[in-house]
Each structure stands twice: as C-alpha cells, then as structure tokens.
Amino acid sequence: MGYIVGLDVISTVIQSCILIGVIAKTTRLLIEVKTNFLPFFFALAMVSYLLSNLYWIIYDFLKPDTRMPMACNEIGECAMILLLCAGLENELKDKKKIPTEIAFAVFFMGANIALWIAWSGEWFQDIFFGMPYVYLFWLLIRGLRSRCSMTSKELWLAAVTSLAVLAMQIPLLMVKGALMEPAKAVCFAVMFALMAWLGIKSVRDRDFFVSSTFFLWTELSMFLSPDIYYYIAYFANTVALIFMFASMKRELVADG
C-alpha cells in the first residue's frame, strides 16, 4: 500500500469515526425531538455517507493504487445528497421558484460537472450523479436568501468568489511547466479563503443552511483538488459534519 493510499485510508477512517459520533448524537436528538423530520433525514444522510466511506476503505485494501470505477460509493454519496435535500426542504418555508436562482444553480453546478468531466473523462457518472447537487444548491440559495442567513453583499461575495475559482480551474487544464504551480497556488488560495470564511460564519451563526453551504463547498473543493489540496478540503469536509450537527441542534432547540 502506497503512501497516498495509506493517507486516504487514515483520513477516511477518521471521518468515519466522526460520522459514527454524529449519527449517534443525531439519533438521540431524534428521540427527543419528535415533531421535526430534519434530524431523521440528517441521520440517514450521515449513514449513507458512512457506507460510502466504508466502501472506500475496503476498496483501498483490496485494490490499492487502482482507480475506482463507478461503484457503490457513488450511490451512497448520491443518497446522502438527496437525504440532505429532504432535510433542508423540511426547514425551508419560502419555496418560491425564482428563475434567476434556478438559472444560477443550474449554471454553477453545470460548470462544476463540466470540470469533473474534463478531469476524469467520465461523462455518464459525472452528469448522472451530479444532478442532485443542482437541487441541493438551489435549496441552499433559496434558504440563505429567504431566511436572511446571508446579506446581499455576502451572497454576491460568495457567488463571485466561487465563480472565480471555477474560472481559474480552466487554465489548470492547459497550463504546463513552471506556470502550473503559481496558477494552482492562486486558485486554491481563493478556494480555501472562501472555505475559511464559510467555516467561520458557520461557527458564528450556527445556521443549518450556512453550515450546509460550507459542507457543499468542501465537497466541491475536494472534487477539484489534487495532491495536498485534496486533503485540506477533506479535513474541512470532516469538520463541516460537526458544524452541521451543531447548527441543526441549535435550530431544533430554538424551535422548542
């Protein structure tokens, strides 16, 4: 087993332990709060994510240093996203279908999917399993705006910064030689700056839609990050699980 595979396994095991803790605490919360379906959907989403991780760990041991084809972990992650969508929709009171929000969700996630295809060459897998992210992203936009979880300036800042990261990913597909590292450094500096801001805002506001946005950005960052950048995003993704649980618990307690 190579160094990278070993790091993959260690990172996934740590995240799986966090997931088990989050699932256990959410289950206890589910017993205490019987009038809200959010912890139910959230617990199932975390179970799906845990199953995806377990598949990764087993695959790494059975076939180390081998690229994984489309497999069960994709189904687990897709289930996680759809269940998270169900939980967010349960909390979303204002479900107006505003065309600009829908268009931006389709455009933004479509751009991400295009980059996934450019990096992996897996058309069907990336398009099929990327579609639930469009709905998740729209729910987050609608929730952030309708609940005033972010100001207009903050929403514009997040939108422009995230689009800038996607735009800077394009040269990375073509740049070679000495220019590659500076280009990567600028792109990932902006990516992680947005990630840090969302993480800080998640801790400060303890809003479930904000922490879920932080989680989504860590997911998207992982998909677009090579080498050490991937593990930084993966660590943030693990931290986001804790923030999501904490914000969900606060909202349930606030609702009585």
| pLDDT (tens digit per residue) in 166-218 | 999 988 888 777 778 888 889 999 999 999 999 999 999 999 999 999 999 99
pLDDT in tens, 87-111: 999 999 888 999 999 999 999 999 9
Q: What is the pLDDT of residue 224?
A: 92
Torsion sign across C-alpha atoms 78, 84, 89, 93: negative
Q: Which two tokens stand for residue 141?
A: 């936009």
In total, how many domains does the chain have? Answer: 1
Q: Is the pTM of this model over 0.85?
A: yes
Band of residue 229 on the pLDDT scale cut at 50, 70, 90 = very high
Instruction: Name the residue type at position 174.
Output: M
How far is Cα 81 from Cα 46, in angstroms, rounded to an integer?
10
- Asked which of 2-6, 157-161, 163-167, 241-245 is least confident by mean pLDDT, the reply is 2-6
Q: Determine whether 145 is exposed, middle or buried from the number of CB atoms within 10 Å of its CB (0-12, 13-18, 19+).
A: middle
Helix (H, G, I), strand (E, B) or coil at 121: coil
Of the candidates 91, 94, 78, the one whose C-alpha atom is nearest the C-alpha of residue 135 is 78
How far is Cα 24 from Cα 58, in angstroms, rounded to an integer?
23
pLDDT in tens, 129-158: 999 999 999 999 999 999 999 999 999 999
Q: What is the pLDDT of residue 124?
A: 84
DSSP annotation string for 17-64: HHHHHHHHHHHHHHHH--S-SHHHHHHHHHHHHHHHHHHHHHHHHHST
Longest alpha-carbon distance in the chain: 58
Domain that holds residue 46: 3-254
Q: What is the pLDDT of residue 166?
A: 95
Q: Please, what is the average pLDDT of the chain?
A: 90
Phi, psi (deg, nearest 5) at residue 243: -65, -40
How far is Cα 57 from Cα 62, in angstroms, rounded to an integer?
9
How far is Cα 170 from Cα 90, in angstroms, rounded to an integer?
37
Q: What is the pLDDT of residue 152?
A: 94
By the 8 A CB rule, do 108 and 162 touch? Answer: yes
Q: Which two tokens stand for residue 37?
A: 């379906």
Q: Is the pLDDT of residue 46 over 60?
A: yes
